[in-house]
């Protein structure tokens, strides 16, 4: 079940944990469906409220002028990709690595490398929580649905990226680099049509980085939806 964010004040928060304070090689994968074609949609955020030189965030900027997906690290450098398509499910993957004494990031949309500027700064650890669907729980709220979020402390290979993007099977992150998997949130904890406000969204990686839903002051949104794109294999086993 994906979670539907209302674009106003919905988010999911995962408390800070050393396993998520990754400062070297890192990969991120998630599935997202954008309900609107405008605005800044923060997908994942692990920074402070101000630009303090720490942390990172992943955001899609959907408008006719920017048309890009950005992965922003500790400094001012940005890895820029094409704008992901709207009104359809899309897989977004980021890899963060250092090939020749310089830090780089690459952005993949549905398994295709769309990066235009892959030089970025190193990441400085932050004690801030990891937030889904909002920048610091205050702005750039996602208007759309999210599912199958996973974070690794390694750079995924082209084969692994293709598998994540093309298989459309839930639980695939559990089969990829399990020793490096630091968090995996399928976001299928709640039944169709039920609010995720105050509910636990379990981390199935075994690291215990569970999240808590918050549907904001308007008490709407953050509802779970019946699965639309990913299938459930009969032998899926959560740790």
Q: How high does pLDDT run on average in the chain?
A: 89
Is residue 103 in a domain? yes
Of residues 162 and 226, the one with the higher pLDDT is 162
Task: Report pTM.
Answer: 0.93
pLDDT value for 66: 78
pLDDT of 237 over the 70 cut = no
The C-alpha torsion from 158 through 151 and 34 to 215, rounded to 10°, is 170
Residue range 71-120, pLDDT digits in tens: 999 877 889 999 999 899 999 999 999 988 899 999 999 999 999 999 99
Q: 81-111: buried (b, 16+ CB within 10 Å) or exposed (e) per residue? A: bebbeeeebbbbbbbbbeeeeebbbbbbbbe
How many whole angstroms separate alpha carbon 161 and alpha carbon 220? 34
pLDDT value for 52: 64
Is residue 213 in a domain? yes
CATH number for the domain that contains residue 198: 2.60.120.200
Is residue 235 in a domain? no
Residue range 154-208, pLDDT digits in tens: 999 999 999 999 988 889 999 999 999 999 999 999 888 888 999 999 999 999 9
Is residue 233 in a domain? no
Is residue 217 in a domain? yes
Is residue 239 in a domain? no
Q: List the domain range (segments joined by +) for residue 14.
A: 3-224
Per-residue three-class SS string for the chain: CCEEEECCCCEEEECCCHHHCCCCCEEEEEEEEECCCCEEEEEEEECCCCCCCCCEEEEEEECCCCCEEEEECCCCCEEEEECCCCCCEEEEEEEEECCCCCCEEEEEECCEECCCECECCCCCCCCCCEEECCECCCECCCEEEEEEEEEECCCCCHHHHHHHHHCCECCHHHHCCHHHEEEEECCCCCCCCCECCCCEECCCCCCCCCEEEECCCCCCCCEECCCCCCECCCCCCCC
Is residue 168 in a domain? yes
| Number of domain units in the chain | 1
pLDDT of 234 over the 60 cut = no
Is residue 150 in a domain? yes
């Amino acid at each position: 079940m994906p979670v539907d964010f209302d674009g106003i004040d919905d988010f999911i928060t995962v408390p800070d944990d050393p396993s998520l304070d990754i400062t070297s090689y890192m990969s991120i994968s998630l599935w997202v469906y954008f309900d609107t074609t405008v605005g800044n949609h923060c997908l994942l955020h692990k920074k402070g409220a101000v630009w303090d030189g720490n942390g990172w965030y992943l955001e899609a900027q959907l408008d006719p002028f920017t048309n890009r997906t950005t992965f922003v690290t500790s400094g001012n450098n940005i890895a820029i990709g094409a704008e992901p398509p709207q009104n359809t499910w899309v897989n977004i993957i980021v890899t963060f690595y250092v090939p020749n004494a310089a830090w780089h990031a690459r952005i993949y949309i549905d398994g295709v490398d769309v990066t235009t500027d892959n030089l970025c700064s190193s990441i400085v650890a932050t004690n801030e929580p990891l937030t889904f669907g909002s920048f610091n729980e205050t702005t750039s709220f996602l208007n759309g649905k999210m599912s199958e979020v996973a974070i690794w402390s390694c750079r995924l290979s082209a084969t692994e990226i293709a598998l994540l993007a093309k298989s459309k099977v839930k639980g695939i992150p559990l089969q990829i680099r399990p020793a490096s998997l630091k968090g995996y949130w399928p976001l299928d904890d709640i039944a169709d049509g039920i609010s995720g406000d105050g509910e636990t969204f379990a981390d199935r990686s075994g690291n215990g980085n569970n999240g808590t839903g918050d549907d904001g002051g308007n008490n709407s949104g953050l509802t779970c939806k019946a699965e639309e794109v990913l299938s459930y294999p009969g032998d899926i086993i959560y740790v």
